[in-house]
């Protein structure tokens, strides 16, 4: 143990009577702040001075400090935490790194999270299990937007205790006035975000007020950072909390019983307990309870278990067992905070894959109710959410799901949104509350279904979705196809982009958000029409892959054909039947697809039609042959 650490433990490691103090549970700490505010240096010093760095690593640290360091030949504590070679060479933190340290009074788990805006996703991941946040601020530079963004994420993730660690006080002459300016500027946001904030002036590089009180700031009468962390009391949920057991899978015992597996997310579970299924309300008794070492009488939160139920209930992955005084919410609509990670903006109407605990489900962002102003913490109006912004959204799933508010149970209230076309994680979300509309809406069972209507018409319903640039030939081919199907006595309907916008969607423009809503409405209309047994032809530019995936998802269970009508941009401009390209080139039309708005070509369309090489009649005949092969245009 180094001399500073030994001195610390000699002073603080025992009570005044020389007896060991009661050891509280390990404290989970989030360290964050804007880039170069010094959080890696601070964590490194805490590890170093608490005795968490072995002698051989101290020797290596000294060598690394000479090679990579930025501390003028002295120990560069940041190198203890910036473990990736890319981070060392660039002097930044990229990934979330978890560090462990202990003092005589407490154990600590520290999440060192990135400061750059493009790594906000990593920061949100690191914050999800933490109980106290250390937000560093460079005393010289002052507060920055990322400082407020991190404070907002702490708040919505339920971290109420925050240390505003004003670092590099040596750079401002240890000025009490400078500390006051920073605290005064940050206080309104902390109040609005309901953060319990403590400000501590420090110099991580020198060690002032990190472990020992600084002689350079005699005006500061508070505790050191380490003292604050050791003494902080954080309310903990215990085994008396309501049980939450998300079902991960099902297998069979040798006797043939259904054996359900999962990890207890909250509360505790005992042999013989009566539990309920959140969606549906079925009840059963825990007949067998098995832990990692075999049968047990009781298991607590965080424990992986397998259970058998009496009577047996048909459960699947994503179902939730619960018991206790607090029932989870069951709804298909909910409100949530959403931290957006993707380059492509978020708009209402987009569909994603929801991953909430063990549950996977399609989900639609039905409304954007605003976004957080990261400086004030207030909600402001918004229709588009860009990367690293925090939105308040309404979301809807096709059926009832079970969840809690994130504040009540993070494990059953936190979720991810996945772009189903790319597999990219685009957002992290925190459930705020269920929306009543989800609990009061029920799909009406109808006596006459699609099959009955198809039998009456003597045909099978289907949707053909024509996509491509303006001027590629979508409407021409669709019109030719409809004439051919009509000649075969097939009942059809052609939904054309311009025609729909002149009526149903005349209130929409051509921003990305309006395009999303335009296609959502069309998809719903197409679904109603195919349910009536019609062959529905949809001719829309539909430039974004995510929106075409949304259409396909909404029409799941329906014969659906994505038809890419392809022509080079220069040929489309030469055709320009409506004069739109010319207007766009003159600046009279904004957000025109192919020019100042992107078109994402389908990666695997059901048909790829090249109108630069083949005529519209030949291509329409090709579609008829496809429909005949599929038993639709017999």
How far is it, in rounded angstroms, from Cα 584 to Cα 596? 9
| Bridge-based pairing state of the strands 425-434 and 329-340 | antiparallel
| Bridge-based pairing state of the strands 268-270 and 390-403 | unpaired
Whether 590 and 510 have beta carbons less than 8 Å apart is answered as yes
Q: 280: domain range? A: 243-323
Whether 253 and 308 have beta carbons less than 8 Å apart is answered as yes
From 323, 350, 365, the end of a domain falls on: 323
Cis, bond preceding 586 (omega within 30 deg of 0): no
CATH number of the domain where residue 81 is located: 3.40.50.300
Tell whether 417 and 508 lie within a shared domain. no
Tell whether 410 and 459 lie within a shared domain. no
Ramachandran angles phi, psi of 249, nearest 5°: -165, 175
What is the pLDDT, as a whole number, of residue 122? 57
Tell whether 147 and 190 lie within a shared domain. yes
In a domain, 634, yes or no: no
In a domain, 263, yes or no: yes
From 274, 304, 323, the end of a domain falls on: 323
| Number of domains, the chain | 4
Tell whether 616 and 552 lie within a shared domain. yes
Tell whether 513 and 398 lie within a shared domain. no
| E strands in 97-195 | 97-102, 107-112, 132-138, 161-167
Ordered mean pLDDT values, 10 residues apiece, the chain (634 residues): 34 38 75 80 83 64 60 64 44 59 88 59 63 93 89 83 95 96 93 90 92 94 94 69 91 87 92 93 93 90 91 92 92 91 89 92 92 82 89 92 89 89 86 77 79 92 95 93 95 93 88 84 95 95 87 90 93 87 86 84 93 93 94 85
Q: Which residues contact 577 (CB under 8 A, 6 or more apart)?
A: 471
CATH number of the domain where residue 310 is located: 2.40.30.10
The CA distances from residue 78 to 41, 144, 211, 415, 555, in Å, are 4, 21, 16, 32, 53
Tell whether 308 and 423 lie within a shared domain. no
Tell whether 308 and 348 lie within a shared domain. no
What is the pLDDT, as a whole number, of residue 55? 61
In a domain, 432, yes or no: yes
What is the pLDDT, as a whole number, of residue 9? 37
Tell whether 276 and 132 lie within a shared domain. no
Q: Name the token pair of 432.
A: 């705020």
In a domain, 575, yes or no: yes
DSSP, residue by residue, 268-320: EEETT-EEEETTT--EEEEEEEEETTEE-SEEETT-EEEEEEES-----TT-E
Tell whether 249 and 222 lie within a shared domain. no
Tell whether 8 and 125 lie within a shared domain. yes
How far is it, in rounded angstroms, from Cα 407 to Cα 156? 8
Tell whether 347 and 281 lie within a shared domain. no
DSSP element (H, E) containing 85: helix 85-90
How far is it, in rounded angstroms, from Cα 125 to Cα 123? 5
From 231, 255, 286, the end of a domain falls on: 231
What is the pLDDT, as a whole number, of residue 78? 63
In a domain, 238, yes or no: no
Tokens 């170093």 found at:
48
In a domain, 236, yes or no: no
What is the pLDDT, as a whole number, of residue 94? 42
Whether 57 and 81 have beta carbons less than 8 Å apart is answered as no
Tell whether 49 and 165 lie within a shared domain. yes
Q: Name the token pair of 567.
A: 């022509």
How far is it, in rounded angstroms, from Cα 229 to Cα 233? 9
What is the pLDDT, as a whole number, of residue 87? 40
């Amino acid at each position: 143990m180094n001399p500073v650490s030994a001195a610390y433990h000699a002073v603080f490691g025992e009570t005044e009577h020389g007896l060991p103090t009661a050891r509280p549970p390990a404290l989970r700490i989030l360290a964050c702040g804007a880039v170069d505010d010094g959080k890696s240096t601070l964590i490194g010093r805490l590890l170093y001075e608490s005795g968490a760095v072995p002698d051989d690593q101290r020797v290596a640290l000294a060598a690394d400090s000479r090679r990579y360091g930025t501390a003028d030949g002295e120990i560069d504590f940041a190198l203890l935490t910036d473990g990736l070679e890319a981070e060392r060479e660039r002097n930044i933190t990229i990934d979330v790194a978890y560090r462990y340290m202990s003092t005589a009074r407490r154990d600590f788990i520290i999440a060192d999270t990135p400061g750059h805006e493009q790594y906000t996703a990593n920061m949100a991941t690191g914050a999800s299990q933490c109980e106290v946040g250390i937000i560093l601020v460079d005393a010289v530079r002052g507060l920055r937007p990322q400082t407020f963004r991190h404070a907002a994420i702490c708040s919505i993730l339920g971290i109420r205790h925050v240390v505003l660690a004003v670092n590099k006080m040596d750079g401002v002459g240890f000025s009490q006035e400078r500390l006051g300016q920073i605290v005064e500027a940050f206080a309104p946001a902390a109040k609005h975000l309901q953060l319990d904030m403590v400000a501590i002036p420090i110099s991580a590089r020198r060690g002032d007020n990190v472990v020992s009180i600084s002689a350079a700031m005699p005006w500061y009468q508070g505790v050191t950072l380490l003292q604050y962390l050791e003494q902080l009391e954080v309310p903990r949920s215990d085994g008396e909390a309501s049980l939450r057991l998300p079902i991960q899978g099902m297998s069979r015992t040798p006797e043939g019983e259904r054996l359900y597996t999962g990890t207890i997310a909250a509360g505790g579970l005992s042999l013989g307990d009566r539990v309920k299924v959140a969606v549906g309300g079925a009840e059963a008794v825990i007949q067998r309870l098995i832990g990692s070492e075999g049968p047990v009488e009781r298991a607590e939160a965080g424990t992986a278990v397998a259970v058998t139920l009496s009577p047996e209930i048909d459960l699947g992955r994503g179902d939730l067992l619960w018991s206790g005084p607090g029932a989870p919410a069951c709804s298909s609509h909910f409100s949530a905070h959403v931290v957006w990670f993707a380059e492509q903006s978020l708009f209402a109407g987009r569909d994603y894959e929801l991953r909430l605990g063990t549950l996977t489900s399609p989900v639609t962002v039905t409304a954007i109710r605003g976004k957080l102003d990261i400086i004030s913490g207030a909600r402001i109006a918004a229709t588009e959410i860009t990367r690293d912004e925090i939105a308040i959204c309404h979301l809807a799933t096709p059926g009832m799901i079970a969840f809690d508010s994130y504040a009540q149970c993070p494990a059953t209230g936190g979720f991810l949104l996945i772009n189903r076309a790319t597999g990219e994680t685009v957002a992290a979300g925190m459930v705020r509350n269920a929306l009543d509309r989800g609990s009061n809406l029920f799909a009406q069972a109808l006596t006459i279904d699609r099959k009955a209507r198809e039998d009456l018409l003597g045909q099978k319903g289907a949707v053909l979705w024509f996509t491509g640039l303006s001027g590629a030939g979508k409407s021409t081919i669709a019109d030719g196809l409809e004439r051919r199907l009509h000649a075969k006595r097939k009942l059809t309907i052609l939904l054309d982009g311009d025609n729909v916008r002149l009526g149903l969607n005349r209130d929409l423009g051509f921003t990305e958000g309006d395009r999303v809503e335009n296609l959502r409405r069309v998809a719903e209309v197409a679904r109603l029409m195919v349910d009536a047994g019609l062959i529905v032809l949809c001719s829309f530019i539909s430039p974004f892959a995510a929106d075409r995936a949304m259409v396909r998802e909404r029409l799941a269970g329906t014969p659906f054909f994505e038809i890419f009508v392809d022509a080079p941009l220069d040929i489309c401009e030469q055709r320009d039947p409506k004069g739109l390209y010319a207007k766009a080139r003159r600046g009279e039309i904004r957000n025109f697809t192919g020019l100042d708005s992107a078109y994402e070509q389908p990666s695997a369309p059901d048909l790829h039609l090249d109108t630069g090489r083949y005529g519209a009649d030949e291509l329409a005949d090709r579609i008829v042959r496809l429909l005949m092969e599929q038993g639709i245009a017999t």
